[in-house]
Structure 1
Amino acid sequence: MSTNSLGFVRTELLAPRPAPASERSAFGWIRGNLFATPKDTALTILAIALLVWTVPDMLNWLFFDAVWSGSDRTACLTRAQGGVQPDGWSGACWAFVSERFEQFMFGRYPIDERWRPTLVAVLFAAVLAPMLMPRLPYKGWNALVLFVIFPIVAFFLLHGGVFGLQRVETPLWGGLMVTLILSFVGIAVSLPIGILLALGRRSHLPVIRVICVTFIEVIRGVPLITVLFMANVMLPLFLPTGWTIDNFLRALVGVALFASAYMAEVVRGGLQAIPKGQYEGADSLGLTYWQKTRLIIMPQALKLVIPGIVNTFIGLFKDTSLVSIIGMFDLLGIVQLNFTDTRWITPITPSTGLIFAGFIFWLFCFGMSRYSAFMERHLDTGHKR
């Protein structure tokens, strides 16, 4: 065959063609995702029917028929003889939430001193935001401020007793403030302790391995309520005579230790997923154990278990509501405490308060899950971004 009969060889790839208009449009998306098969069509119709049946009544109760202002239970308690509802009751009692909102946020913290936890919240947001932005520099300094300097400043601001600030004992703390403090301390402490426990459980030193395995299995084998009771009742027994530990600090210790045991197993799963060649490559470079762990192994392991780590954080954030068992009132506890207030006792007050507390918990948990997804995409080296 002659070379003159050869066709032209293209040196560049053809440009991608745009998607067909029917698939790129809203109608095409609906047809491809909701009505692609008979099964999808049946499930879509069933879901739409369920939404049509439930959503209007839900919106009426939550918003349109709800009571938004009032000073006591009479604002939310509508008699059948003169009420607008056929069953004699109004919608959600958001007046109760509005009137007790500050208490839900700060507990029994003195009203004149509530600017202090507000300032702490602003400072926390100011130092946390740069830490969550991967492209911003000086992460080491940022971490030092967030995990070392900020807790000290926050403690003196919240507790007082120095620099002319009124002392506010921890039994007066409560609401969302307690939930966030317990969560932040638990998250900040459980991750490094969990890493050390995971490394200790894989250690070749028998004593270290037995201690770590015993701690992890004992803590994971009991519920958080038991750990809180032990921290509240048994921890003072290990102190010298005349010494005592604040109840809030006992709760912090219990929550942090409980979360650390679960975090250790999450991190250990990431360590086991690292190929053996990574360890051998680090050894061939002459790295020490801690250099190999810090520079090679641990960054890869933590990236693999980001969903598990965040799942543990979310579980810890929700489990803080159990501290009400030992006499501390977090967000859920302070909401439930207000159900017994005679000024606001109505059949719809509890459901309204619980929906409010549930929404706050969902808001923070959803935010953590979305940030987790963002970090997974940012650290994904297997796909071009």
Structure 2
Amino acid sequence: MPDPAPRHSDRPRWRRSGALALAALVCVGALLGWRLGPARPPVVAVEIMAAGPVTRVLAVNGKIALRERLAIRAAVGEVVLSVAVAAGDVVTAGAVLARLDDRQQAAALRQAEAALAQAVILQAQAAAEFGRDRDLGAQVSRMRLDDARRSLAGAAQEVAGRAALRDQARIALDHYALRAPVAGTVLTRAVDPGQRVDTATTLFTLADLARLRVETDVDETYALQIAPGQRVRLLLLGSAETRMGTVEVVAPRVDPDTGGLAVKIGFDALVRAPVGLTVTANVVIDSRSALTVPRTALTGGAVFVLRAGRAVATPVRVIDWPADRLIVTAGLAPGDRVISDSTGLHDGQILREEGE
């Protein structure tokens, strides 16, 4: 039988197809490389260093507080007859807040007044008798005249004593009326008619709501930075108006439990606000001309300065402070181009400045 027709191998065809595909890939790669060029460096934002006015501020939250709160107590123990005010009432100095049962003391005053009136009558009689004896001259013995003089002196002393007792009784009677020692607002009332009160219980609290201040605590980390006389910008919750004040009192000790230093701030101008309202206080620690960098630029005690397209790690000294920007005290000079955000950067990295 004749031999079958010879079979041609497929291998050369496969090799030719692979070669063509590889050539196509090379061409595409070359085309893309020509189109895209080398990988471009990351873009970063920079700040050009220049000295400028800087105010270092410590921000704390505080509360509106009273400068003074007066506790009103009874001077005597007795039953309350009437109460003239309620919490929130505004009173003038000397206004009666409540009256106690003063019937016994009023009777004592009447007795003292009657005794004084009787003593005055006796003094007048003694004075008249002494005057008559003196006018009679030689017709009256010296002994009688001396007796009349002594009687008059004794009557005068009696009047003085009775007058003092009357005054004491009058003062004691006034203790049965509880009065406001100063003008202000009644903050609390803890008494009702019919109650028996003692001298130890606070019946009313009174304060001048026009004399307010801010009380706050500063973390002990900044305790050495706070001093009386520092200016403060104050913003009351719910108000867009910034008010000015001054640090008036700095506590002499740090609270060992909270680590806070108590600070009291006075307002420059009259402020009317509810006690307990939250206030943001920005205490001006100092003002100067200095270089500053964003906190985000700092990493491990250094910043990155962009020089000739590369990030150069530059050690700096700053005043660490709870703020978005930090004052630079060493390591940078005006004109340095500091990268604003150091995240993900490394020394010597090739970079491109934003806007180039």
> Which has the larger share of helix?
1
Shorter chain as denominator, the TM-score bin is: under 0.3
> Which has the larger share of strand?
2
Give the TM-score of the pair, scaled to structure 1: 0.17
Highest relative contact order (Cα 8 Å, sep 6+), 1 or 2? 2
Q: Which has the larger radius of gyration?
A: 2
